[in-house]
């Protein structure tokens, strides 16, 4: 959605390594109105398009696709893609309609650009799972690649929304990843009760005076179903508000 940073440019670099020097790397920039709720930050979402163009150019992007909302959604637009299982909890529970907008716009972008490979970042853990399910269930001829989360030196996952944080909130925000890392270490030490790990993460985050927990969930890494015991591939995911800024992060526990 633009406001590009090192996390985005790492996706461009991954795409280039996958297709080689003779391949074509396409980036799309589109602040998608259909994935924002009525009280969310669509109107104030950062749109530094000239800077984004320069970053695309300097990181090997061959083609930048940047449509307008009117080009993507006609006034009588009426067809939607609605994944109905892995999108239910986590951010889907907190943001009704969000993943309908995500699936619809990603399908449209893939249909328009017709890529052989599409690269997404793992910071948006649930989005990756939802898009994987859509591509599988709709038999879409594209290979998905999910690239690792890129972080600041203090552990904060890079996000365009980090720019909303004031100095005090920014100082506290690395506690999210610290809590997730502490949880992973606790699992390695033998704690397999999901409830105990969830409580550990929430308690650690709530030590930040400006943090407001939206959710902390321990889920199966593919189905995204809540688990009681950490025995199969499992991910801890969270969403936390600092003021009006909602940050997400995740870590594989097993």
DSSP 11: H
What is the rounded distance in angstroms from the CA atom of residue 252 to the CA atom of residue 220?
Answer: 10
Check whether 39 has a pLDDT greater than 90. no
Region 41-70 average pLDDT: 96
Percent of the chain with pLDDT over 70: 100
Measure the CA–CA gap between 15 and 24, rounded to whole angstroms.
9
Whether 8 sits among the annotated catalytic residues: the reply is yes
Say if residue 215's pLDDT is above 90: yes
Q: What is the pLDDT of residues 8-31, one digit of tens each?
A: 999 999 999 999 999 999 999 999
Mean pLDDT in residue range 76-104: 96
104-113: average pLDDT: 97
Per-residue pLDDT tens digits for 129-174:
999 999 999 999 999 999 999 999 999 999 999 999 999 999 999 9
User: Which candidate in 8, 59, 116, 192 is catalytic?
Assistant: 8
- Report DSSP letters for 151-215, one per residue: B-TTSPBP-GGGGG--HHHHHHTTHHHHHHHHHHHHHHTT--BHHHHHHHHHHHHTTSTTEEEEE
pLDDT of residue 102: 98
Query: Tokens in use for 27?
Result: 């980036």
What does the pLDDT read at residue 227? 97
Domains and their CATH numbers in the chain: 6-147 (3.40.50.620), 166-252 (3.30.1300.10)
The predicted pLDDT at position 62 comes to: 98
């Amino acid at each position: 959605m633009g406001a590009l940073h090192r996390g985005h440019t790492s996706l461009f670099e991954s795409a280039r390594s996958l297709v080689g020097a003779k391949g074509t790397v396409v980036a799309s920039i589109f602040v998608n109105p259909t994935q924002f709720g009525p009280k969310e930050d669509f109107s104030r979402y950062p749109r530094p398009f000239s800077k984004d163009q320069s970053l695309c150019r300097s990181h090997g992007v061959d083609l930048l696709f940047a449509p307008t909302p009117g080009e993507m959604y006609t006034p009588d637009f009426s067809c939607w893609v609605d994944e109905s299982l892995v999108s239910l909890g986590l951010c889907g529970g907190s943001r009704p309609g969000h993943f309908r907008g995500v699936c619809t716009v990603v399908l449209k972008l893939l249909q328009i650009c017709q890529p052989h490979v599409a690269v997404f970042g793992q910071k948006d853990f649930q989005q990756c799972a939802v898009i994987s399910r859509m591509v599988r269930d709709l038999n879409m001829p594209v290979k998905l690649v999910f690239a690792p989360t890129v972080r600041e030196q203090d552990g904060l996952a890079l996000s365009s929304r980090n720019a909303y944080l004031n100095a005090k909130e920014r100082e506290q925000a690395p506690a999210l990843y610290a809590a997730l890392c502490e949880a992973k270490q606790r699992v390695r030490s033998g704690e397999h009760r999901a409830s105990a790990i969830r409580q550990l993460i929430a308690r650690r985050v709530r030590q930040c005076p400006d943090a407001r927990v939206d959710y902390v969930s321990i889920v199966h890494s593919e189905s995204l179903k809540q688990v009681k015991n950490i025995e199969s591939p499992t991910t801890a995911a969270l969403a936390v508000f600092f003021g009006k800024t909602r940050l997400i992060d995740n870590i594989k526990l097993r």
